Amino acid sequence: MSSPPVYLSTVATALPPYGADQDLAASFFREHYGNRLSPRSLKVMENILGHPGIRRRHFALEDPACLVDEDPDSRIERFTRWAVTLSVESAAMALAEAGLSPQDVSALIVNTCTGYLCPGISSYLIERLGLLRDVRAFDLVGSGCGGAIPNISMGASLLPVDGDGRALCVSVEICSATFQMADDLSLILSNSIFADGAAAAVIGKKRSGLEIIRSSTRHLPEERDTIRYIHRGGQLHNQLSRRLPKVIGRTVAQAVHSLLEPMGLSVPDVDHWAVHGGGESVLASVGREVDLPEAKLAPSRRVLERCGNMSSPSVLFVLKDIMAGGIEPGSWLVLVAFGAGLSAHAMLLRAV
């Protein structure tokens, strides 16, 4: 006996109120780090910040000066405050748009990679949202930018066999809580493209929105050092390899092939693509390897331009952009996200 279908009904997003364009970011870095960076590093940074692929980003802070030599205690306090605030905001909106109350939620999954709390963010959401005290709650860590798709897959698996429970899937990243600056290309690139944000999706068995058909994952643990966080002096530092776009593009293509082939589908059969906007070079590589027309990457580029790379919530921002534009019933949609592991995840959905 086959399991009843599962549907993704709503997606909601939240950004912190402090926004900065890339020119402001360039001025900030020159003022505070101009004497710490080599002329070459400054030039690289200015070229990245000057690229039109990203025009504005949002950050979980009141004053960017707090980033300069921020101590670990202040950093985790800032992460906690903003991760909870943005998670609550996106989750509450997702439930409201689905016409649900917090008491309708039977499972809660929260993923993040930019800060560690014990108990996890789920504990705060149970309290702040007023979720039932017997809700099945899980915190996922270590998935990096790809975390939203495993989150949704887990949420689907937690729905009760009988009845119509709902899973609330929250992705939140405070990338600024991992801010470090040094004469290091990984850090310069990270500081020029990453941003903060949260997104939440509601899934359940009521026929609404997008039916979740299947998912696929491709792991390359031997490429772990291509994209990851490492600890130095007790704090997280982002590490990105110059090989990343090529490796990601190839791995995503494998995950997409594994997703579509069993369904008898090919890339041209898919009407909408919600691809995590990891950056200009990464998006271009994914487009080439998967053979996606540029028009299919337009939603990803819009989100990247307006918000930067928010890590795991980004793909849900792209999905919301697509849903806001309207999806014809019967249309196929693929979610694609990738990140630490190295891993790539793809999910096939169909509009009802």
> What token pair was written down for 315?
């793909």
Distance between CA atoms of 144 and 238, rounded to whole angstroms? 11
If one counts every other C-beta atom within 10 angstroms of the C-beta of residue 76, the result is 14
If one counts every other C-beta atom within 10 angstroms of the C-beta of residue 64, the result is 17
Distance between CA atoms of 235 and 231, rounded to whole angstroms? 5
Reported as a single tens digit per residue, the pLDDT across 140-182 is 998 899 999 999 999 999 998 887 899 999 999 999 999 999 9
pLDDT of residue 305: 98
Q: Is the peptide bond before 119 cis (omega within 30 degrees of 0)?
A: yes
pLDDT of residue 233: 82
Residue ranges covered by each domain of the chain: 6-204, 210-351
Q: Could you write out the DSSP letters of every residue in 114-174?
A: S---SS-HHHHHHHHHT--TT-EEEEEES-GGGTHHHHHHHHHHTS-SSS--EEEEEEEEE
pLDDT of residue 334: 98
Q: Which CATH class is domain 210-351?
A: alpha beta
Would you give the end-to-end CA distance of the chain in angstroms? 22
Q: Which CATH superfamily is domain 6-204 in?
A: Thiolase/Chalcone synthase (3.40.47.10)
Reported as a single tens digit per residue, the pLDDT across 190-249 is 999 999 999 999 999 999 999 999 999 999 999 998 989 888 887 888 888 889 999 999
Domains 6-204 and 210-351 belong to one CATH topology: yes
Bridge-partner residues for 274, per DSSP?
335
Distance between CA atoms of 160 and 102, rounded to whole angstroms? 17
Q: What is the pTM of this model?
A: 0.97
pLDDT of residue 234: 79
From residue 301, how far is each of 232, 297, 298 by CA, in Å?
33, 6, 5
pLDDT of residue 230: 84
CA-based nearest residue to 114, from 224, 194, 26, 28: 194
Positions in the chain short of pLDDT 70:
1-2
